[in-house]
Amino acid sequence: MTLEVFPKNWQVIMTNLVVQKYGGTSVGTTDKIKNVANRIKSYYDNGSKVVVVVSAMGHTTDELVDLAEKLSDNPSKREMDMLLSTGEQVSIALLAIALEAIGVPAQSFTGSQVKIITDGNFSNAKIEMIDRTRIDIALSEGKVVIVAGFQGIDKNENITTLGRGGSDTSAVALAATLGAKECEIYTDVDGVYSADPNKVEGAKKHQTITYDEMLELASLGAGVLHPRSVEFAKNYGVTIHVRSSFNMNPGTLVVSEDKLMENIRVSGVTIKNEEARVTLPEVPDKPGIAADLFGALSEKDIIVDVIVQSSPSNGKNTISFTMPRKSLSIAEPILKSFAEKNKTGNPDINDKIAIVSAVGVGMKSHVGVAATMFKALADNSINIEMISTSEIKISCVIKEEEAKKALTEIHKAFKI
């Protein structure tokens, strides 16, 4: 993933640059916006140059989605991006107004004004280039720069959005563009925990966690950071500091593995709910079959997670995979025509499953991690339907009703 910066050989050395992103809950009300403004003021008064990215206030984006859904079952993605980008335009202006009211000069910019150029993939666009000219000018005029998160424009000047939660990515991409060492992400939790503290008693806050662990946790639904923000941070060596805007406590630093301060086997246990398992029996064992099936699903933007294929017997095998439950209605016709075309058995669908995962770079150097996880499930009579592993992750597909117990017991077993 590369990011082009314009103007090209621009060399501004800004040692005192701070890049911060405030999420929806941090700017949910005018009082909270005042709180954020005061926080920014303290950095500004210390002589820092501050670039701030904000999300839409509170649940604004969801409310905008609801409005569109009242008018159409299938609104065009271009118009959805036009609509959803308005949420951030409100919050950047309000924050600039709040800053000016306390004597801090500030200027807000939409994505198109700072030329955050993306591809044309509406609702899930990728940032390709950022032009820092206007930001540098505003900073040199002594202003706090406030940029709308989550949005950009494509090369035809259509407004695009980066996918839900995408303001994190706007912030880290800006930090990378401006050469900042760190990007502070203010959210409603005060760091990255070993498990959801609302679900697991004794969940522990990490001082540091690696990019790779964070990427796995993000894709497992531990929605603290937008996954692409972590990819940018990793590629450009930006440390992400996840922290709360409601207190001054240090949060969690997302760093490269050599900067890790903890040495533990498992750093996070997560549950991904609202998943479904699909099993296709008697699939002919020949080249191109899996490409056909998963190609058709990806064309409809269906995110497939765990995939297991049995080894062939009598020229047939079984393919099982998990996917979001909400996409089943789109997947079913694809599965049906695949089954007919390839004369497989009937697809079997279980829409009451969950995926429980343990993540940790420490797995690379500690033995017995998988065994500990399987034993925690076995001791609680929880059946494992599918298993998948990577170098730093083990995932098990289990019954949804057992998910919460599984989470607690696995967390306990790893003595995090």
CB closer to Mg ion out of 162 and 358: 162
Residue span binding ligand ASP (CB under 6 A) among the ranges 54-62, 198-206, 238-246, 318-326: 54-62
* Contact call for residue 160 and ligand ASP (CB under 6 A): no
46 token code pair:
């210390």
6 to 25, contacts with Mg ion by CB under 5 A? 23
| CA of residue 76 relative to chain centroid, distance | 24
CB closer to ligand ASP out of 89 and 158: 89
CB closer to ligand ASP out of 23 and 179: 23
Number of residues in contact with ligand ASP, rule: CB under 6 A? Answer: 12
CB closer to Mg ion out of 23 and 191: 23
| CA of residue 247 relative to chain centroid, distance | 23
Helix (H/G/I), strand (E/B), else coil: 276: strand
Helix (H/G/I), strand (E/B), else coil: 391: coil
347 token code pair:
């697809």
CA distance 201 to 353: 23
CA distance 262 to 285: 45
CA atoms within 13 A on the CB side of 277: 23
SS3 for 189-213, per residue? CCCCECCCCCCCCCCCECCEEEHHH
CB closer to ligand ASP out of 25 and 322: 25
Residue nearest to Mg ion (CB): 165
* Contact call for residue 227 and ligand ASP (CB under 6 A): no
Residue position matching structure tokens 């095998």: 317
CB of 119 to ligand ASP, least distance (A): 18
User: According to CB under 6 A, which one of 28, 58, 149, 179 is a site residue for ligand ASP?
Assistant: 149
CA distance 3 to 170: 12
Residue span binding ligand ASP (CB under 6 A) among the ranges 115-123, 131-139, 163-171, 198-206: 163-171
DSSP secondary structure string for all residues of 166-180: THHHHHHHHHHHHT-
User: According to CB under 5 A, which one of 58, 111, 165, 360 is a site residue for Mg ion?
Assistant: 165
* Contact call for residue 111 and ligand ASP (CB under 6 A): no
Residue span binding Mg ion (CB under 5 A) among the ranges 121-129, 159-167, 238-246, 293-301: 159-167
* Residue 382 DSSP class: P
Angle at 279 between CA 360 and CA 337, to 5 degrees: 130
> Which does residue 232 bind out of ligand ASP, Mg ion, none, counting CB within 5 to 8 angstroms by kind?
none
What is the pattern of x (binds Mg ion, CB under 5 A) and - over residues 23-62?
Answer: x---------------------------------------
CA distance 416 to 412: 7
Pairing status of strand 348-359 against strand 116-118: unpaired
User: According to CB under 6 A, which one of 43, 150, 321, 338 is a site residue for ligand ASP?
Assistant: 150
Contacts of 138 (CB under 8 A, 6+ apart): 107, 109, 145
Sheet holding 307-309, edge to edge: 307-309, 316-324, 268-284, 348-359, 393-399, 386-390
CB closer to Mg ion out of 56 and 144: 56
What is the pattern of x (binds ligand ASP, CB under 6 A) and - over residues 66-105?
Answer: ---------------------x------------------
* Contact call for residue 179 and Mg ion (CB under 5 A): no
CA distance 233 to 219: 16
Residue span binding ligand ASP (CB under 6 A) among the ranges 25-33, 53-61, 112-120, 198-206: 53-61
> Which does residue 56 bind out of ligand ASP, Mg ion, none, counting CB within 5 to 8 angstroms by kind?
ligand ASP
CB closer to ligand ASP out of 23 and 268: 23
CB of 40 to Mg ion, least distance (A): 19
CA distance 132 to 10: 9
Which chain residues interact with ligand ASP by CB under 6 A?
23-24, 55-56, 61, 87, 149-150, 164-167
User: Site residues (CB under 5 A) for Mg ion?
Assistant: 23, 165
